[in-house]
Amino acid sequence: MCFFTSDYSTIKEKSIYGRYITYDHISSLLKKLDARFRVAEIGKSVKGVAIDCIDFGSGPTKILMWSQMHGNESTTTKAVFDVLNFIKSENSAAQEILKNCTIRIIPMLNPDGAAAYTRVNANGIDLNRDAQDLSQPESSILRNTYTDFQPNFCFNLHDQRTMYNVGESDKSATVSFLAPAFNQERDISSSRLKAMLLINKMNKVLQELIPGQVGRYDDAFNANCVGDTFQLLETPTVLFEAGHFPDDYERERTREFICIALLEGIAAAMQIGHTPKLSESHYSEIPENGKRFYDILIKNPIYFDMAYDKGVVLGIRYEENLIEDKIQFEGKLEALFGEGHFLGHHIYDCSIEDELQILKKQSFFSKLLS
């Protein structure tokens, strides 16, 4: 049974849209939050931009979330503001969250990276590889918040690339989850099992909405990653990865599924927090992500007067470039291979005249030829 039963369109925060989301986009939204929400500056980035947190609720189940640790991963930030709109509604489920949970959200941990649309911070450091050294102000802010808040659960919010498919299927991994390992052996502790159970409940709901489009992220242990570190500290931690939904490069459909997953995850945390015995996990049944997708596959490029043998396939992936405050998707040739193994979000066959003419009109293809 779904915890979230509202019409998503009624809670979608329409003022933020697309892939380029910066602190300037969210600061006005933070100022508009009503008395149910407690907003505080918890530090500053390398470049002196405010890093804020939002607290709401007064219940015993404490959940810490953070988004845009990687500045160019903005889908979950949009979904967070959709969740806040749900909390502002008169929905009985929202009232249940406020009564049973205390939630702290850092909506943008890396505002400098967000402004530059880069994964790293202003010092060129990947914050998700800085959990042990804590060499960056943003890393210390997150750790201090964790220590101060002492959460029962952590939600680590990210985007993943369009390359990921689910298992051996031809379906894109629109949402992926991970219960991070806490040691090299990838053992299952009580806290990791709780994270798995949360994922199971979210996956069950998402399978009704996007069947076959939920994947499981690789769980190789890396103590430098924040999720692994918090799991090591015995706090159940869930990694959310917002991925590709067909023809949704702005990730507006994906944000809907992330929003629903967040609300279902909160509901599951409330239930698990009061469950005396944990049941067996079906987490391992979620297919692990593959890496078979290209944004574009071009078959038979020989018909485009290109010097390839018949049967060769070109694999093209988009580069995301920030140009005049907008993200432009520009194709880059990444691989040549024979037919059969790889998948394409868009597939063109140069031996078909109509598709050949479509390709000739696309600017990315002329750049490949130059």
pLDDT tens digits, 317-329? 999 999 999 999 9
Look at 145 and 365; give whichever has higher pLDDT.
145
Is the pLDDT confidence value at 9 over 90?
A: yes
Based on the fold, state whether residues 97 and 140 are members of the same structural domain: yes
Q: How confident is the model at residue 358 (pLDDT cuts 50, 70, 90)?
A: confident
Indicate the residue among 231, 260, 290 that finishes a domain. 290
- Residue 304: is its pLDDT beyond 90? no
Tokens describing residue 324: 């005049």
Q: 239 and 332, same structural domain?
A: no
- 250 inside domain: yes
Asked if 47 and 16 sit in the same domain, the reply is: yes
Q: Is the same domain home to 68 and 30?
A: yes
Q: Which residue has the higher pLDDT, 338 or 116?
A: 116
For position 128, which CATH number holds?
Answer: 3.40.630.10
Confirm whether 3 is domain-assigned: no
Residue 190 lies in a domain: yes
How confident is the model at residue 311, as a pLDDT? 79
- Where is average pLDDT lowest: 41-45, 187-191, 211-215? 187-191
Each residue's pLDDT tens digit, 258-293: 999 999 999 999 988 655 455 556 899 999 999 999
Query: CB-based contacts of 307: which residues, under 8 Å, 6+ apart?
Result: none
Residue 2 lies in a domain: no
* 3-state DSSP of 125-190: CCHHHCCCCCCCHHHHHHHHHHHHHCCCEEEEEEECCCCCEECCCCCECCEEEECCCCCCCCCCCH
User: What pLDDT does 15 receive?
Assistant: 97
Contact 114, 23 (CB under 8 A): yes
Output the pLDDT for position 1.
47
266 and 142 in a single domain? The answer is: yes
Number of domains in the chain: 2
Q: At which of 290, 310, 330 does a domain end?
A: 290
Residue 357: which domain range? Answer: 293-369
Between 335 and 47, name the one with better pLDDT. Answer: 47
Total residues found in the chain within this entry: 370
Is residue 1 assigned to a domain? no
252 and 306 assigned to the same domain:
no
Q: Do 69 and 193 belong to one domain?
A: yes
Token pair listed for 4: 């979230």
Q: Do 121 and 51 lie in a common domain?
A: yes
* End residue of a domain, out of 259, 290, 321: 290
pLDDT score recorded for residue 286: 96
Same domain, residue pair 240 and 263:
yes
Residue 343: pLDDT over 80: yes
Burial class (CB in 10 A: 0-12, 13-18, 19+), 259: buried
Q: How many CB atoms lie within 10 A of CB 315?
A: 21
Q: Are residues 285 and 300 in the same domain?
A: no
Return the pLDDT at 360: 78
The verdict on residue 199 lying in a domain is yes
Number of Cβ atoms within 10 Å of the Cβ of 184: 10
Q: Are residues 139 and 197 in the same domain?
A: yes
H helix and E strand count, the chain = 10, 14
Instruction: Provide the pLDDT for residue 131.
Output: 98
Tell me what the mean pLDDT of segment 93-107 comes to. Answer: 97
- 122: in domain: yes
The rounded distance, in Å, linking the Cα atoms of 96 and 53 is 21
pTM metric for this prediction: 0.95
Q: Is there a single domain that holds both residue 264 and residue 327?
A: no
Residue 200 covered by a domain = yes
